[in-house]
Structure 1
Amino acid sequence: MFSLYPDFQIDVAAEQEKLKQADLVILQDPVYWYNVPSLTHRWFEEVLRYGWAYGEGGMALAGKKAIIGLTAGGDAASYGTGPESVISAAEVIKPLELVLGYCHMDVLGTVFTTSMPGHDPEKYEEHAQKMLDLAAKA
C-alpha cells in the first residue's frame, strides 16, 4: 500500500471498487508498535465508510471472506503468553478481526509470523505459503 499511496492520499473510490470485485480480501501488514501501520489505519478510516461498509445501509462487504497476514520483527516469545511476552499475537490480531467483522466480513484465519526484522527470503516464502494455503480453503 505504501507504494500506491506514498503521500497517504488514498483513492477511496478505486479501493472500494477493488473490494466490491474481490471474492477474498487479504489484509497483509507488518506490525509496528504492536499495531498495523498508520497508512492501514487511514485506509480503514477512509475506505471502510459509514453507509458503505457498516452502519445504516453499509452492507457492501457483507459475506466477503478475509484473511489477515501479519509479520513482526520480534521473536515468538515476545508475542506469546509467557512472562517474556509484551503482547500476545491474539491481542494484536483482535482489533483487526473486529474491524473486518464490523464491516460484515467473515475472517477465515490469520497468519502471524515473527522474527522478521531482516529480509530473509525463506521466512517471507514460508509466510506467503501459509497465506496461500489459507486462501485455498476459502
Structure 2
Amino acid sequence: MAKALIVYAHPAHQRSRANRALLNRISDLHNVTVHDLYETYPDFFIDVEAEQKLLLEHDVIVIQHPVYWYNMPALLREWQDLVLEYGYAYGRKQQRLAGKQMWVVLTAGAPEHTYSETGVNERPLSDYFHHYPRMANVCHLDMKPTFEVYHGRHSPDEDIDKAAEQYRSCLLKYLKEFPTDA
C-alpha cells in the first residue's frame, strides 16, 4: 500500500484549530507519517540526509502549513531550500522524487471572500503560491489540486469537521491512486 508523508510546518500548532482538526482526522491511518518540522527542528538545524531518506520512503508528499503573510512559515522555506537540493530532487539524471505525488494543504485565518479581486487580499489564495507548481515541475512530482481551509479560527465546528473529513477523503483517494508494486 502507498505511504504518505505529511511535511507539517506550523510554528504554533497548539493554537491552530484547523490544522489540529485535519491531523486528528487522519491519526488512525497507519500508512501516513506526520512529520512536524517545528517539533523536529526547533533550532532550525535540518538533518538533510534524514529528510531526503524520509521522502524516498513515501509515495505521497503532503506539504501542509498555515499561510503566513502570503507565504510559508520560515522553517518550511529552509527545509525546501536545503532538502530539495540539486543532485537529489532535481538536476541531470538526479530526480530522486520523480513520479511521487505532491499535495499542498493550506490553512488561512481569513475568510475565503477576502482572497478575491474585491477582497482585502486582492487575489485568490492560490495566486500567492505559484512556487509549488514550479517545485513539482522541477522535481517531476505529480501535483494534486491544492486543499484550502479558510477562517480556521472562527469557523463553526461543523465547518471545521467537514473540512477535516474532506481532507481525509482526498488523502485516502491519493493513496489509492498511487501505483504500487504489490
Q: TM-score, normalised by structure 1?
A: 0.88
Question: Are positions 1:9 and 2:45 aligned together?
Answer: yes
Q: Which has the higher contact order (CA 8 A, sep 6+)?
A: 2
Structure 1 alignment gaps of length 5 or more = none
1:102 and 2:158 correspond: no
Q: Which AA in structure 1 matches 2:164? A: A
| Match 2:118 to one of 64, 83, 98 | 83
Q: Which residue of 2 aligns with 1:132?
A: 168
Cα distance in structure 2, aligned partners of 1:133 and 1:61 = 24
Assess, with a 3 A threshold, how the Cα gap between structure 1 residues 121 and 10 changes in structure 2: closer, same or farther.
farther
1:92 CA displacement: 2.5
Query: What is the Cα deviation at residue 85 of structure 1?
Result: 4.3
Query: Could you tell me how far apart the structure 2 residues matched to 1:99 and 1:125 are?
Result: 30
In structure 2, what is the Cα distance between the partners aligned to 1:125 and 1:3?
A: 25
Alignment of 1:26-105 (within 5 A): 26-80=62-116, 82-86=117-121, 87-105=123-141
Cα distance in 2 for partners of 1:96, 1:26 equals 11
> SS at the partner of 2:40?
coil
**Retained in 2: the 8 A contact 1:109–1:134?**
no
Letter in 2 for 1:84: G
Give, in angstroms, the shift of residue 6 of structure 1: 0.9
Alpha-carbon distance, 1:28 to partner: 0.4
Q: CA deviation at 1:58?
A: 2.2
Q: Which amino acid aligns with 2:119?
A: E
Aligned length: 137
TM (norm. structure 2) is: 0.68
Contact persistence 1:111–1:130 (CA under 8 A) = no
Distance 2:47 2:161 in 1: 30
Instruction: Give, in angstroms, the shift of residue 41 of structure 1.
Output: 0.6
| Cα 1:39/1:132, change in 2 over 3 Å | same
Q: CA RMSD in A?
A: 2.0
Distance 1:120 1:44, change over 3 A: farther
Q: Percent identity, please.
A: 33
CA contact (8 A) 1:111 1:127 kept: no
